[in-house]
Amino acid sequence: MLAWAETGEWSRFRGPNGGGAIEAGALPVEVGPDRNLLWRTGIPAGDSSPVLSADRIFLTAWEGEALYTIALDRETGAELWRREAPRPRAETLDNRNGPASPSPVTDGERVWVFFGDFGLLCYTVDGEELWRHPLGPFDNLYGMGASPILAAGNVVLVVDQQQGSYVLAVDAGSGELAWRTERPAARSGHSTPVLHHPDGGELQVVVPGSFFLTSYSAETGERLWWVSGLSFEMKSTPALEDGVLFINGYAMPLNEEGRHVRLEPFGEVVAAHDGDGDGKISEDEAPEGLVRNVFSFFDLASDGVLDEGDWTYFQSALDSRNGILAVELPEAGLRGDLTASHVRWTYHRKIPQLPSPIVDDGVLLMVDDSGIATTLRSAT
């Protein structure tokens, strides 16, 4: 985080509209414990990114069983306050995740946070709790990762999970539910949305998810338009430039080009492996190899068996492609499936699994999980 980011410019995950970049002056070439250090403050563990108000830094963290929202002084690094969130449960987490993973969002007067083990909370920038909105429990094999954003006077949160995915908005001032829209195609996911406000049109919340990039009305939650072609599991946040949105998605190696596989038809698998005759496949009955190795991920109901619906989704997931899409953001009033008309280009080589892209001055930058950088011309 650049300590000299302008006021209000880094108020949410990945900064202005989630783009991951700001205009800046001369930056230090070297940064480290002994080089160009302004201050250092010890804090508990956490996986969230800090956000900024005019004079404060907000972040979430955890220590033992405690979940914290913490405020620091931007100039000195001094801790101004920390508030402990309720923790009625401890949800399942992947070892790459943690209970304080989503980042806060602030408007300079208030700060909102989300913990998967509780829900949403709102504080003043001085640490006074204004409201709490419990949510969950959730059903995501990796734990929750998407961060809340502000839109149309609401706090918007995407909850993509094994079953029952949705996007919701609560009133930023009161914490009361404003709207909630189900996302039946979305399964496990962690992407934080961005905003699109076409000339003469309504503000939109644009959300990556399993197979689809989808736009919702920020005022009502109505599904407006979508494009298909995304991977079945999305983690990254889009970047925007000159009316074009760029989003990368990577699910697993079998979604790379040339590595797709076909499952045997469900009926044939049941005939060969269904030992108890219930018409389903338990983990013990699953064929050795791929199905057994990823059984829990495609057991959408977490009931210990795969039925035909699970199997159909499993094949759809395997058919999806890792890649990046460049999507022309539509003018006001356009609705429905815009895949054929608004996908400018796709790219399917060396796609990061977790990191989000950055685009600036016609160059799209991606850094994969091993640290290898790829640059593309954003126009083509």
Domain-by-domain residue ranges, the chain? 1-137, 261-314
In the predicted model, residues of the chain with pLDDT beneath 70 are 1-8
Is CATH 1.20.120 the right assignment for the domain spanning 261-314? no
CATH number for the domain whose boundaries are 1-137: 2.40.10.480
Lateral strand order in the sheet of 239-241: 239-241, 244-249, 323-328, 343-347
Report pLDDT for 350: 78
The whole-angstrom separation of Cα 51 and Cα 14 is 9
Instruction: Please state, in angstroms and as integers, the Cα–Cα distance from residue 71 to each residue in 43, 119, 121, 143, following that order.
Output: 11, 19, 14, 24
CB 209 within 8 A of CB 216: no
Model pTM?
0.92
Looking at the DSSP assignment, which residues form a beta bridge with residue 59?
70
The whole-angstrom separation of Cα 245 and Cα 266 is 38
CB 367 within 8 A of CB 358: no
Report pLDDT for 4: 41
The whole-angstrom separation of Cα 22 and Cα 51 is 13
Report pLDDT for 351: 84
Is 261-314 in the same CATH topology as 1-137? no
Residue 103 has what DSSP assignment? Answer: P
